[in-house]
Amino acid sequence: MKKTLLYAVTAGMIFGLCFVGATLASADNGPADITLHSTIDKAKKAKPAVFPHAKHQAKLECAECHHSKGADGKQVAFVEGQKIEKCETCHNKAAGMPKKISTFKNAAHENCKGCHKKTDKKLTKCGVCHPKKK
Ligand code: HEC
Ligand code: HEC
Ligand code: HEC
Ligand code: HEC
């Protein structure tokens, strides 16, 4: 009787651990909140941007922002499980991208502000992403 109970408890614990493991393994959603800033363009007045990542993930597809690059240098659309790199890995001056996406700032403004403009013009105000320092 006691043994049966022990088996049940152990089995339950193993199942529980597997379940947690599976959940963690399938959910590399990155940080919930990110402070974005360039590590290449050290502007005189650094302007970090706040980015509620999880809040955006709740409403949008990963592909709205994430993609990759093929051997030919062309964009590769997002697919689940794709290696996600920092925007600046590809969007930097040395990579010679078109002007509107030639730096982290430009690519971010194109992506972030581009969508915000369609969603709600108030979200394009500088202070939404670059809050004044306290
Ligand atoms: C929807 C979000 C968003 C809005 C609105 C926005 N920005 Fe940005 N901005 C970013 C992101 C993201 C970056 C790239 C990360 C960083 O450097 O802060 C950036 C980068 C910058 C940079 C480069 C900062 C640096 O340290 O290299 C400047 C300057 C800048 N923005 C100015 C502005 C100004 C001025 C406005 C208003 C006209 C504005 N931004 C509106 C998101 C935004
Ligand atoms: C609205 C835009 C947006 C959406 C939607 C979005 N992300 Fe992100 N994500 C970003 C930005 C911006 C970064 C920071 C990139 C950087 O630091 O250059 C980031 C960072 C990450 C990182 C960390 C990468 C690293 O090494 O720093 C992971 C992992 C990630 N995202 C996964 C996801 C997944 C999975 C989804 C979909 C469920 C998703 N993201 C949806 C914009 C987005
Ligand atoms: C692995 C390289 C790579 C990474 C990482 C990357 N991009 Fe791109 N991105 C590209 C390429 C390649 C293009 C196409 C360039 C062209 O049209 O000449 C592109 C195009 C874009 C465009 C133009 C509009 C479009 O979607 O075609 C925007 C905006 C953009 N990227 C923003 C971002 C942002 C924001 C991030 C980070 C969340 C990011 N990119 C990460 C390679 C990358
Ligand atoms: C494809 C559309 C889309 C993209 C791309 C996008 N956003 Fe947003 N963003 C939204 C929407 C929609 C809201 C309003 C969400 C709400 O009020 O619940 C929002 C709200 C915000 C807010 C205000 C959050 C709040 O708590 O009220 C910030 C800050 C922000 N976005 C930053 C960014 C930055 C930085 C980027 C680029 C790295 C970005 N967004 C890219 C759609 C987008």
Per-residue pLDDT at 7: 58
The two structure tokens encoding residue 95: 């990579």
For the stretch 43-76, pLDDT in tens is 656 799 999 999 999 999 999 999 999 999 999 9
pLDDT, tens digit (0-9, with 9 covering 90-100), for 75-104: 999 999 999 999 999 999 999 999 999 999
Going by C-alpha positions, the residue among 108, 127, 125 that lies closest to residue 117 is 125
The rounded Cα 82 to chain-centroid distance in angstroms is 12
Up-side HSE of residue 18: CA atoms within 13 Å toward CB? Answer: 6
Tokens of 110: 């194109």
50 within ligand 2 shell (Cβ under 6 A): no
Burial of 91: CB neighbours in 10 Å, binned 0-12, 13-18, 19+ = buried
- Give dist(CA 16, CA 75) in Å, integer: 40
If pLDDT is split at 50, 70 and 90, which confidence band does 23 have?
very low
Q: Give the pLDDT confidence score for residue 86 in this predicted structure.
A: 97
Task: Report pLDDT for 12.
Answer: 46
Closest ligand to the CA of 91: 3
The angle formed by the CA atoms of residues 118, 127 and 97, to the nearest 5 degrees, is: 60
Ligand 4 pocket (Cβ < 6 Å) reads 49-52, 56, 59-60, 64-65, 108, 111-112, 115-116, 119, 123, 128-129
Single-letter amino acid, residue 73 = G
Cβ atoms within 10 Å of 25's Cβ, excluding its own: 8
pLDDT score of 5 more than 60: no
Q: 39-54: b or e for each residue (b if 16 or more CB lie within 10 Å)?
A: eeeeeeeeeebebeee
Distance 13 CA to ligand 2 centre (A): 33
For 49, 87, 130, the CA distances from 46, given in Å and listed in that order, are 10, 17, 10
